[in-house]
Amino acid sequence: MNKDFLKRFEKNKDELTGLFRRDALSAYMDKLTRDEIPFSFVILDIDNFKTINDSYGHQIGDYALKLVADSLKAVVGDKGVVGRFGGDEFIFVFPELVEYDDVWHMLLNILQSAYELRIPDTEVKITYTAGVSRYPLDTDNIDVLLNLADKALYRGKVKGRNCFIIYLKEKHGNINLQTIREKVYDPINLHAKIYRMLTSDDDTSNNIKAVLDFIGAYLLIDHVCMEENSRLYLDYYQPISIKRDYEPYSEESIKEVFRDNGVFYENSTLSSREKYKIIDEFKKQSIYAACIAEIKCYGKSFGFLRCDMSNVNTGRVWQNDDLVLIETVANQIALVLYIDSLKQLID
């Protein structure tokens, strides 16, 4: 049915990728609804595609889009139809694929296929974020169906990208898409909010704890805390996270990672930085992704901020916005603690 119905759109495919355009998939979904055939709808973004364009130029960006398109077509095969929505966004329709487990495995295959993609002469590692909605399980209205998939997509971006979210009313029904968009794209107000939290009252410890709780919930991190002199304190735990037995990192490992930079991170899909001793400590504690940021102001150290991911099933690729935010929090905490130390000297 896919091939027969879509033949009329063959001559109007996207020139760069060779995929169907949005109008073709819209018409196809209309046909499926008229025939009362259930289907899943997927919106997928290439994570940080703008960075690829900015770093390597549009020629490499176009190469990446073509590479991704060919890969997606190969993975989907005859199970569905792939289209280009525009820019770095792709859409899929999977007729008669609506059971949660079946959809889950299909999306997992799609996400994992990105790990094999390589762009010559670059260090680009391609990952995807996707949102899924299902007809008629979620809604019998096509416009609403697209909106629900869009909600799921942005939920995935807030979660940290490199993931897929299948829309479930009980989990995602109350998501305000405008709020999520503001949450993802308004870093200036976010940084200002953190500063206000750090200076809200005279109890610096409580202020810092409030910020760590906020960052943990905002970035969906399993564990956030301060570490200094082999002591963990002001811990935040993701409510659904089971692990609680985190241990301090060795002083030798911390000195090594902060030798050249004030922020160190490890993604759950990468293994290129095995040379660092701290990677062994991650493995020992069953930490599958981590980010640590030095808390230092005018040469005075106050330890470091650590963010740990311990659920291997969720995956984590730290985005540039995540790293900037974590570093900003560490710097602002350092400034507040430095000012407190000066006050103590005066007193």
Q: DSSP labels for 267-308?
A: -TT--TTTTSHHHHHHHHTT--EEEEEEEEETTEEEEEEEEE
Contacts of residue 123, Cβ cutoff 8 Å, sequence gap at least 6: none
pLDDT averaged per 10 residues, the chain (length 347) = 81 93 93 95 92 88 96 95 93 96 95 91 90 95 92 81 87 61 56 87 93 87 93 89 90 87 76 72 90 94 93 67 89 94 81
**Predicted pLDDT at 1:** 59
**Predicted pLDDT at 314:** 55
**Predicted pLDDT at 137:** 94
**Predicted pLDDT at 274:** 59
**Predicted pLDDT at 298:** 92
**Predicted pLDDT at 247:** 95
Contacts of residue 173, Cβ cutoff 8 Å, sequence gap at least 6: none
Q: How many CB atoms lie within 10 A of CB 244?
A: 9
**Predicted pLDDT at 310:** 85
**Predicted pLDDT at 135:** 97
**Predicted pLDDT at 198:** 93
Token pair in block for residue 80:
């569905």
Domains of the chain: 2-184 (3.30.70.270), 186-346 (3.30.450.40)
